[in-house]
């Protein structure tokens, strides 16, 4: 079943059951606490918090999501992308646990010729929050899932809150057993690659007060209205329904891998490392195009830096696969063609998206051309002394003179078996900033001519990138 069909069926199923279909919001969150949308519930947050009265009491969507904290998993696990689509159904004070559980079961297990996804019921494993007897009883007694396929988990995975006082509640997740070739048995509590999580049902049931941290905040009591927030990963379901081993091999991503193969001559399946690179390229190129499509432009902080880092990683992985020319244009083309079927605005906005991406590629190739030799020399020198840590002043020089962000240095050094003295690097950055401040003060009082420092400070000021990873929180 194609991704587009999975999406259509989702929306139709819930629409037929009284849900208003709400189009995906932009990836740029309309929310000061988030850089990018990490979950389907984000556009509905004001309704859940009771700040705004919802115009409907049931809704469904397929929301574009980006989770930058998952970047290190990309290509290595079978199920994490930086961009993915979260299919959701939401109840605002309408149906609750039993309704949500029954809908989920019906949609997943009813036959494909009756509008469902036709998953084998015996392969589905359920997790519930360890104290949620009610959810367990519904799964066992109402739906009929055998008790041995229902597992209880603690707060971490199975209790949801927004990290601020407000609604919270237990979750129940549906996991699919991909079979022994993916690892030993034992259920999702022990093996999350074999028993892959596909759908999270959140039962917003309680109100929490202020406290410190997830584990120990006071639950004040029941919410006046109980809500449902669910999220199913479209790519994960596609992986199962298309019978492939990971989400990068599904219809909308595999074509990008194939294009990368065509451009580099490296076939998929040659080795673990080249496969990881091919998957990173497919994932990151897609994420970058979706971000640019929603108006993000490459930059040195915030969303702009997320985009820059993701694009640069894609380009670097293409080079690791052997491409030495500019290669983005053809990859972009494939991504826009496949994703454009579900997001037609990508096609109407094609020219702008391409020109933003190609300009970034050109800029990065220049940076790489200038800095790679310096980095290689520093690596050789470090290794010659028998050390395994690249000195902080080298990382600082690469940053200050050649525009290498620290994580580029970290990644490129790691590829050659070295770590980097990050503390030393940050100390030099701090010193540079302090000098700049002192200079600014001196300039105001006219005490000294520190124009050389000023210049350095000006340059450093535009390359401050710390804190870019803290843009998402646990949601859904």
Q: Which residues bind Mg ion (CB under 5 A)?
A: 197, 200
Using CB under 6 A as the binding rule, whether residue 399 contacts ligand ATP is answered as no
CB under 8 Å to 328, separation ≥6 — which residues?
285, 311, 314, 315, 357, 358, 361
What phi, psi does 175 have (nearest 5°)?
-125, 150
Smallest separation (angstroms) from ligand ATP to the CB of 157: 6
DSSP per-residue codes, 213-231: SSTT--EEEEEEEEEEEEE
170 touches, from ligand ATP, Mg ion, none (C-beta below 5 to 8 Å by class): none
CA 379 to chain centre: 32
Site for ligand ATP in 179-238 (CB under 6 A): 197-200, 231-233, 235-236
Identify which of 288, 220, 319 has the alpha carbon closest to the alpha carbon of residue 82. Answer: 288
Instruction: Work out how close the CB of 85 gets to ligand ATP at its nearest, in angstroms, rounded to a whole number.
Output: 8
81 binds, among ligand ATP, Mg ion, none (CB under 5 to 8 A by kind): ligand ATP
Question: Rounded to the nearest whole angstrom, what is the least distance from the CB of residue 79 to Mg ion in the complex?
Answer: 9
Quote the least distance from Cβ 74 to ligand ATP, whole Å.
8
| Contact partner, 60, from Mg ion, ligand ATP, none, Cβ < 5-8 Å per class | none
Residue 451 Cα distances to 316, 397, 428, angstroms? 36, 20, 19
**Closer residue to ligand ATP, CB minimum distance, 69 or 99:** 69
CB closer to Mg ion, 70 vs 294: 70
* Cβ closest to Mg ion, residue 71 vs residue 375: 71
User: What minimum distance in Å lies between the beta carbon of 40 and ligand ATP?
Assistant: 8
199: partner contacted, choices Mg ion, ligand ATP, none (Cβ within 5-8 A by kind): ligand ATP
Span 234-273, contacts to ligand ATP by CB under 6 A:
235-236
Token representation of residue 229:
């927030």
Residue 322 C-beta: closest distance to ligand ATP, Å: 28
Contact partner at residue 233 from ligand ATP, Mg ion, none, CB < 5 to 8 Å by partner kind: ligand ATP
Span interacting with ligand ATP, options 76-84, 97-105, 259-267, 288-296, rule CB under 6 A: 76-84
Q: What is the dihedral of CA 384, 386, 389, 395, to 10 degrees?
A: -20
Label residue 288 left, alpha or beta by phi (over 0 means left) and psi (-120 to 50 means alpha).
alpha
Give the whole-angstrom CA distance, residue 474 versus residue 451: 46
Distances in Å between the Cα of 381 and the Cα atoms of 58, 162, 384, 406, 411 are 63, 48, 5, 19, 18
CB contact set of 245 (below 8 Å; sequence gap of 6+): 78, 239
* Cβ contact 134:178 at 8 Å: no
For the beta carbon of residue 369, count every other beta carbon within 10 angstroms.
10
Looking at beta carbons only, is 256 or 413 nearer to ligand ATP? 256
Q: C-beta of 171: minimal distance to Mg ion in Å?
A: 7
The reply on whether position 88 binds ligand ATP by CB under 6 A is no
With H, G, I as helix, E, B as strand and everything else as coil, classify residue 91: strand
Smallest separation (angstroms) from Mg ion to the CB of 134: 19
Crossing angle of helices 328-339 and 350-384, rounded to 10°: 130
The DSSP secondary-structure symbol of 138 reads I
From Mg ion, ligand ATP, none, interface partner of 75 (C-beta below 5 to 8 A by class): none
Q: Taking CB under 6 A as the criterion, which residues in 316-335 touch ligand ATP?
A: none
Which residues, other chains included, contact 384 with Cβ-Cβ below 8 Å and sequence gap of 6+?
none
Q: Which of residues 33-72 bind ligand ATP (CB under 6 A)?
A: 67, 70
In 334-433, which ranges are E strands?
389-390, 419-420
Q: Which does 421 bind (CB under 5 to 8 A by kind): ligand ATP, Mg ion, none?
A: none
Contact of residue 409 among Mg ion, ligand ATP, none (CB under 5-8 Å per partner type): none
The one segment of 80-88, 112-120, 132-140, 341-349 that binds ligand ATP by CB under 6 A = 80-88
Answer yes or no: are the C-beta atoms of 340 and 347 closer than 8 Å.
yes
Residue 197: CB minimum distance to ligand ATP, A: 4
CB-CB neighbours of 185 under 10 Å: 11
Candidate ranges 79-87, 340-348, 368-376, 443-451; the one touching ligand ATP (CB under 6 A): 79-87
The site for ligand ATP (CB under 6 A) is made up of: 67, 70, 79-81, 84, 86, 197-200, 231-233, 235-236, 476
């Amino acid at each position: 079943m194609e991704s587009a069909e999975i999406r259509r069926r989702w929306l139709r199923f819930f629409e037929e059951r009284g849900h208003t279909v709400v189009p995906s919001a932009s990836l740029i969150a309309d929310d000061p606490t988030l850089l990018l949308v990490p979950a389907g519930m984000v556009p509905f947050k004001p309704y859940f918090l009771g700040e705004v009265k919802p115009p409907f009491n049931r809704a469904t969507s397929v929301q574009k999501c980006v989770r930058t904290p998952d970047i290190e998993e990309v290509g290595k696990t079978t199920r994490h992308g930086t961009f993915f689509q979260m299919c959701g159904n939401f109840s605002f004070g309408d149906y609750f646990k039993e309704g949500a559980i029954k809908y989920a079961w019906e949609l997943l297990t009813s036959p494909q010729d009756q509008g469902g996804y036709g998953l084998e019921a015996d392969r589905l494993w359920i997790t519930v929050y360890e104290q949620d007897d009610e959810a367990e009883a519904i799964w066992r007694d109402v739906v009929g899932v055998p008790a041995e396929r229902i597992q209880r988990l603690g707060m971490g995975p199975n209790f949801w809150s927004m990290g601020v006082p407000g609604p919270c509640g237990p979750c129940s997740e549906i996991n699919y057993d991909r079979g022994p070739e993916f690892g030993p048995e034992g259920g999702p509590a022990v093996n999350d690659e074999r028993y892959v999580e596909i759908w999270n049902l959140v039962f917003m049931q309680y109100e929490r007060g202020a406290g410190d941290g997830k584990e120990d905040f006071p639950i004040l009591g029941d919410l006046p209205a109980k809500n449902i927030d669910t999220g199913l990963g479209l790519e994960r379901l596609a992986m199962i329904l298309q019978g492939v081993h990971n989400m990068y091999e599904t219809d909308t991503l595999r074509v990008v891998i194939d294009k990368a193969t065509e451009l580099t001559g490296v076939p998929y399946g040659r080795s673990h490392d080249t496969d990881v690179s091919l998957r990173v390229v497919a994932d990151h190129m897609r994420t970058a195009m979706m971000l640019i499509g929603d108006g993000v432009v490459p930059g040195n902080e915030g969303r702009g830096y997320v985009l820059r880092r993701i694009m640069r990683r894609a380009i670097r992985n293409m080079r690791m696969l052997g491409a030495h020319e500019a290669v983005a244009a053809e990859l972009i083309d494939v991504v826009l063609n496949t994703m454009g079927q579900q997001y037609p605005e990508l096609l109407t906005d094609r020219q702008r998206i391409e020109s933003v991406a190609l300009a970034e590629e050109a800029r990065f190739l220049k940076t790489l051309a200038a800095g790679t030799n310096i980095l290689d020399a520093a690596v050789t020198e470090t290794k010659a002394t028998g050390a395994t840590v690249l000195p902080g002043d080298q990382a600082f020089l690469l940053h200050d003179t050649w525009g290498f962000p620290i994580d580029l240095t970290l990644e490129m050094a790691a590829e050659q078996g070295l770590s980097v003295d990050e503390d030393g690097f940050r100390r030099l950055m701090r010193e540079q900033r302090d000098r700049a401040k002192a200079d600014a003060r001196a300039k105001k009082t006219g005490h000294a001519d520190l124009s050389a420092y000023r210049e350095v400070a000006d340059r450093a000021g535009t390359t401050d990138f710390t804190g870019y990873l803290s843009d998402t929180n646990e949601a859904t």
